[in-house]
DNA sequence: CGAACACTTGACAGCCCTCAACGTGAGTGG
DNA sequence: CCACTCACGTTGAGGGCTGTCAAGTGTTCG
């Protein structure tokens, strides 16, 4: 276990193209794939170059910092955490990737992954060879446009948590962010599992784990939510939205 | 003054293609433009679709948050500041764009600029219509690759300052970052002007302006640098590198 | 059943923000 | 040439948020 399962072709790789069309309705490329304008032959080519990888299990590593960059991946199920470890051994979580989202876009720049990626629970992936998808993007304007969009979106997302927000604001923005992204893929916006440890949340929000505990308790005591271990239910969105508004900018 | 000068075609627009080749040696696209593999005709097309804009002066606005996204721009001279203003009127500086760097990449996602951009001093720009450069990118693999790289790079850069670093670490990383980026374009790495106000630096590093003053004074008293108003000279890089190392990751 | 781990809770201290006052340089008009 | 103004920058005092350290509780897994 804990071996790099992603860059290599996994023994469990599926190539079941019938199912692919079903899975893809919630994938990051769906807008490109399912758009009216997309050439039928090109759509076929995209589905041919995808490799289905998984299932990976909690703790399985997709890729390590410094690994040569070969592919990006769309999460079909589960949660992927990306992070770096500084020389003091402190972990900095860069992001959590939910179903339908992409992993590896930040590796394009220097041909090596600039971070580690690990599965937090049972994860299914669609793996796209980047050189191949780049070639296809040149032939399919809708796909190139979608790639540009997704890259651009990540620039903005990375900048969100950079502000000097309070612990309450950060936590509210984090929870609502999860809620919205899950809702966009058809999951319940008010009741979901925190697939990551408190420590992971802390390292993502740049807080101490103790502060994460305290804020969650404070929110629960205020009746904003109910939290039991990894199980979370949002009871009163309004105050959370108010807290998160300056961060989420809406 | 302070009118939006960027999206419209500026009256001072130049189309002097002879000079273009000279300016472009330090531009963000130079790697794509000047690469051996790049098709001569395609290189010509890139130079045809560029509009030279400027000079803009300190305080001139390139674009405002919410403006429809039409073009990205490469800075040829001067400094551009990008920022958002929250409902409390507080300014959050997203970045400073030096000669050779691009502005507007984060606007691709939703077809509107998500931030404001303003010139901090006398600025010269190369303006690229994004739809046109996207079409060209589909025909020129080297250009597409360069665009992907530049987008990917900005994702990583945005994540750098997100950590919970100390004021000293942030300032050291900021100054060394400027130094390196200027050096990469042929400017002196040890002696340069801070083209932005202390308040801008503070809003970028998420510090109070007073803290910026105090840290600079502390660095000067320690003999690490000499600073007089906007004029800055790095005297001892080693301690600064040590401070910034965990942020710059090297 | 024991051990390791995740999480919670409490006490304390430190860094940086806030508030306030002062200094300084550039531009302006007399 | 000089006084004036104003924005920018500096310096000082005090307080609040959150990190650190420590101990305790609960859960999972071997």
Residue B2 included in any domain = no
User: Is residue B85 domain-shared with residue B154, that is, in the same domain?
Assistant: yes
| Structure-block tokens of residue B218 | 């502390």
Give the CA count within 13 Å in the CB-facing half-sphere of B28: 29
Note the pLDDT tens digit of each residue in A123-141. Answer: 999 999 999 999 999 988 8
Task: Give the one of B138, B149, B246 whose C-beta lies nearest to A86's C-beta.
Answer: B246
**CATH number, domain containing residue B35:** 2.60.120.10
pLDDT at position A44 = 77
What are the backbone dihedrals phi and psi of residue B48, each rounded to the nearest 5 degrees, phi first?
Answer: -75, -35
User: Is residue B148 domain-shared with residue B220, that is, in the same domain?
Assistant: no
- Determine the average pLDDT of the residues in B156-185: 91
User: Is residue A123 domain-shared with residue A175, that is, in the same domain?
Assistant: no
Residue B14 included in any domain = no
Q: Test B148 with A134 for CB contact under 8 angstroms.
A: yes
User: Is residue A83 domain-shared with residue A182, that is, in the same domain?
Assistant: no
Note the pLDDT tens digit of each residue in A231-250. Answer: 999 999 999 999 999 998 87
- Determine the average pLDDT of the residues in A147-165: 86
| Burial environment of residue A44 by CB neighbours within 10 A (0 to 12, 13 to 18, 19 or more) | exposed
Q: How many separate domains does chain A show?
A: 2
d(CA B245, CA B249): 5
Q: DSSP assignment of B120-151, as one string?
A: SSSEEEEEEEHHHHHHHHHH-HHHHHHHHHHH
User: Is residue B184 domain-shared with residue B79, that is, in the same domain?
Assistant: no
- Determine the average pLDDT of the residues in A85-93: 88
- Does the CB of B250 have a partner CB in chain A at under 8 Å? no
User: Is residue B124 domain-shared with residue B82, that is, in the same domain?
Assistant: yes
Q: What is the pTM of this model?
A: 0.88
**CATH number, domain containing residue A200:** 1.10.10.10
Chain B environment of A161 (Cβ under 8 Å): 162
Taking the CA of residue B99 and the nearest CA in chain A, the distance in Å comes to: 20
User: Is residue A38 domain-shared with residue A154, that is, in the same domain?
Assistant: yes
Protein-contacted bases of chain D (C-beta within 7 A): 8-13, 17-22, 27
Structural domain of residue B190, as residue ranges? Answer: 167-248
Note the pLDDT tens digit of each residue in B88-113. Answer: 889 999 999 999 999 999 999 989 99
pLDDT at position A11 = 42
Q: Does position B123 have pLDDT exceeding 90, yes or no?
A: yes
- Does the CB of A1 have a partner CB in chain B at under 8 Å? no
User: Is residue B187 domain-shared with residue B102, that is, in the same domain?
Assistant: no
Q: Is the CB of B198 under 7 A from strand D?
A: yes
Residue B207 included in any domain = yes
Among residues A160, A182, A217, the one where a domain terminates is A160
């Amino acid at each position: 276990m804990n071996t790099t399962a992603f860059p290599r072709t996994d023994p469990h790789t599926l190539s079941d193209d019938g199912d692919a069309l079903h899975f893809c309705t919630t994938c990051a490329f769906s807008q490109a794939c399912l758009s009216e304008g997309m050439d039928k032959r090109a759509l076929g080519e995209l589905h041919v170059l995808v490799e289905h990888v998984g299932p990976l299990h909690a703790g399985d590593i997709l890729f390590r910092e410094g690994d040569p960059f070969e592919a990006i991946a769309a999460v079909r199920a589960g949660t992927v955490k990306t992070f770096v470890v500084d020389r003091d051994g402190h972990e900095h979580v860069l992001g959590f990737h939910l179903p339908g989202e992409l992993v590896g876009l930040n590796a394009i720049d220097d041909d090596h992954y600039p971070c580690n990626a690990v599965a937090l629970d049972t994860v299914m992936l669609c793996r796209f060879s980047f050189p191949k998808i780049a070639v296809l993007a040149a032939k399919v304007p809708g796909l190139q446009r979608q790639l540009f969009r997704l890259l651009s979106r990540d620039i903005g997302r990375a900048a969100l948590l950079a502000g000097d927000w309070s612990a309450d604001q950060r936590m509210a923005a984090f929870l609502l962010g999860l809620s919205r992204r899950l809702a966009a893929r058809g999951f319940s916006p008010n009741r979901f599992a925190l697939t990551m440890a408190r420590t992971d949340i802390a390292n993502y929000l740049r807080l101490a784990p103790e502060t994460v505990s305290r804020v969650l308790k404070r929110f629960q005591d205020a009746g904003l939510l109910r939290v039991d271990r990894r199980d979370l239910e949002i009871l009163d969105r309004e105050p959370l939205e108010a807290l998160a508004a300056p961060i989420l900018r809406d």
